[in-house]
Amino acid sequence: MSPHLSLQRAEAEARRALLDVTSYDVTLDLASDEATFRSVTRVRFTSRGGATFVDLKPQAVASIHLNGEPLDVDLLERGRLTIDTRAGQNELVVDATMRFRNDGEGLHRSVDPADGRHYVYGMSFMDAAPSIFACFDQPDLKAPYTFHVTAPADWHVFGNAAGEQVEPGRWEFEESAPLSTYFVTLVAGPYHLIEDTHDGIPLGVSSRASIAADLERDADDILTVTRQSFDEFHRLFGIRYPFGKYHQAFVPEFNAGAMENPGCVTFRDPLVFTSRVTRGVRIQRATTIAHEMAHQWFGNLVTPVWWDDLWLNESFAEYLGNRVTADVTEYSDTWADMSYARRQWGLVADQAPSSHSVAGNGAKDAVSALQNFDGISYTKGSAILRQLCSSVGDGVFFDGVIDHFTRHRFGNATLHDLIGSWERAGAGDLSGFTQEWLLTAGPDRIELDRAAGVLRRTPPAGHEADRAHSFRVAIASGGSWRTETVTLDSAETAYAPEGDAVLLDPYDDTWAVTVPDPATIAALPSLLPAIEDAHLRAGVWNGLRNAFHNAAVSPADVVDIAVASFPVEDTEDHNRRTRTWLFSRVLPLAPVGSSERLHEAVLGKLATLPAGTEWQLAGFRAAVATSTDTARLREWLATPPAGIELDRDLRWRVLVRLASLGAVERAELQAAFDDDPAAEARVELTRALCSLPDREAKEYAWSVFTGETDLPNYEVTAAGAGLWRGGQEELTAPYVDRYFAELPGTEKVRSGWVLADAAEAFFPATSISEATLAKASVLAEDPDLDGPLRRRLVDAADALRRQLAVKAAFPA
């Protein structure tokens, strides 16, 4: 049983009907102890009179006073303090001791291994605010905040509002605009600070002192994208940024990409580049900056009433963050890169048993709502908004948005409020659009049946829909490509294009699973190498991934296409992108010798790439990831190819690969870290130690999973990745049963984000068997299993089920 109760929607509605919060005044002492901090909260609110509860997750409570009268601290139970309010004005004062956390939630404190300095940041999102201060923790009880902070004298302290150090170590902050509890943050530590202004807005960026030189090098790009994005959002919305200053804090061990806290946006600090990166990562940073800025209007100025409308935050920020980046920054190729980076995240989520609608997603409580911050809420919602904007035009689209902001400024709103604003702006009746696209889960599947001469549209099972699709088709004839637009508004539409290959919706015009026909798949090995259009190439790979996910293309065919034209243009190899998919999903099911063929193809491609280019960097990474030649890896560790600098990132990629092959000793790994004790290196050291093919390594990884070894969040997921290495199945076999036996107990050592991430990271990914699927299915039916654990287990089991379907359809 979780030690804290999750807020139910019905409880939130009852509390909102009872209360209006006037203000929060919070005093924090961050200087007295490295493990805990004192938190004194003064909440003023009006009530209709009656009993309710305050959210509070302390280590200890010194005193509680309601309207001047002391309350029994034992009234606090499972994170809730029951209070009996009087009609009219009330004041609650809570003096508590809180725990610093290391899981990226609440007030997270970390130690930089590079210099031993301590850093703190606040992440109040979802249900973490009560571990910082006492509050009514729900999105529709907004109030202004005033903070008073004591910190070590050499620290900077940043918050949602402007603040100043009034004497050494004591900081006073102005009252903020009205905020939901989940936006409240504090960033404190010996941060390196860069300041600027733009259009009257004070700007700041900060990072750990040990990466100050890297921040200085990146600051021009970060601030340029920031200025350009502000100008474009002001143009699109006609409403100025409403929260005063705009600070962007790059903080350590952050779970998400970023968090849109008004006035003080927090980003994961790997987005300050300490090693050479590809354009894909620079696009990721630019779109993240624009995404979080879009939130200042979508989410911060106007906030959803409840988490079933989280798409009012994320879908809009995803669409407008990508659009603004593509339109006004140097990253005009953003949409093609996003096709690689995000398209499959959304489509896979939308085909899973856990699929949900974009809006009205059924989030009954706060903890379960966290699991719906997924590819549906981001990528699918963004795609649907892009379709709507294309249909009604920018004028109507943004007139409706501006009406929405104006009517609900600093308040809360729902899907129906926004739809009403669009209809008033001239969009017409949107009830059909709302029902088919926003309230019905799952994607249509669209295929070309050449023999019948039809395009066939199949709605998702159990989620009947009648959606019309309009999209471009790319057709290859004699080696040249042409495009034409088709509209599909019935189950079957006559369509008989003449061509060697026919790619449906390669430019992401609609939201559907488009599967290439057999003739197209057969033609791709000869056609793909000559395609120079980056988005068209992304469309090829997305079509193949759709087909593989649905057991409609063989692993052998996918390998043949990759050998013919390895997707080095998808420069990144993060979990959602093409190369990682090839290595982790396709190769385990491909014919014997496929790994060697793919590695040789990578080496061949690498030899043709100009030295010093990001494609060469991407190719070298792929060569390292697929190599089984330990002598060559050692050569690269000593002397990389011309044009490649063996920086920290590449050095650890080679060391981790050597570790997975059993070709490096622990002492060498430790020595590499000791020579360069950076935060990123510490994560990779954990990954390497858990990747070693011996019992000691796997037992260590397992101790991280169970919580016996307490590591910060990034290292927890790295340990899971290291545990399940291909080729080590005999060694890891005992941990398959242990995973299913011990997963439920992890809720006693973790919560929130990291609880779910660890469940996913430690799922036995290399045990592709019916027996493993059966174990996963049984545990997923356990009614006592924690909700976030069940969600990740169900999704991992679905991925395994689909791999087994491919295995059955195309035996290697």
Q: Please give the positions annotated as active site.
A: 292
Give the 3-state secondary structure of residue 80.
strand
Q: Distance between CA atoms of 767 and 318, rounded to whole angstroms? A: 35
Burial class (CB in 10 A: 0-12, 13-18, 19+), 708: exposed
H-state helical runs in 435-482: none
Q: Distance between CA atoms of 318 and 581, rounded to whole angstroms? A: 23
List phi, psi (to 5°) of 446: -120, 130
Close Cβ partners of 602 (under 8 Å, ≥ 6 residues apart): 566, 568, 619, 622, 623, 626
Other CB atoms within 10 A of residue 770 CB: 12
- Residues belonging to the chain: 812
Q: Distance between CA atoms of 314 and 376, rounded to whole angstroms? A: 10
Do 542 and 339 touch, CB atoms closer than 8 A?
yes
List phi, psi (to 5°) of 504: -85, 130
Token pair, residue 238, equals 């006609």
Do 329 and 323 touch, CB atoms closer than 8 A?
no
Beta bridge partners of 63: 95
Token pair, residue 320, equals 């407008």
Other CB atoms within 10 A of residue 395 CB: 10
Do 55 and 136 touch, CB atoms closer than 8 A?
yes
Q: Distance between CA atoms of 657 and 628, rounded to whole angstroms? A: 9
Token pair, residue 405, equals 């902001």
Nearest partner of 685 among 661, 714, 708, judged by Cα: 714
Letter for the amino acid at 15? R
List phi, psi (to 5°) of 103: -110, 15
Q: What is the DSSP letter of 352?
A: S
Close Cβ partners of 61 (under 8 Å, ≥ 6 residues apart): 73, 76, 94, 95, 96, 97
Do 136 and 181 touch, CB atoms closer than 8 A?
yes
Q: Residue 606: in which H helix or E strand, if any?
A: helix 594-608
DSSP 760-805: HHTS-TT--SHHHHHHHHHHHT-TTS-HHHHHHHHHHHHHHHHHHH
Nearest partner of 572 among 523, 532, 625, 521, judged by Cα: 625
Question: What order do you get walking across the sheet with 192-198 strand by strand?
Answer: 192-198, 201-207, 246-251, 264-268, 258-259
Do 300 and 410 touch, CB atoms closer than 8 A?
no
Q: Distance between CA atoms of 520 and 536, rounded to whole angstroms? A: 14
Q: Distance between CA atoms of 604 and 593, rounded to whole angstroms? A: 17
Token pair, residue 257, equals 């990409």
Give the 3-state secondary structure of residue 262.
coil
Other CB atoms within 10 A of residue 596 CB: 11
Q: How far is CA 42 from the centre of its chain?
A: 34
Instruction: Categorise residue 299: left if φ over 0, alpha if ψ from -120 to 50, beta otherwise.
Output: left
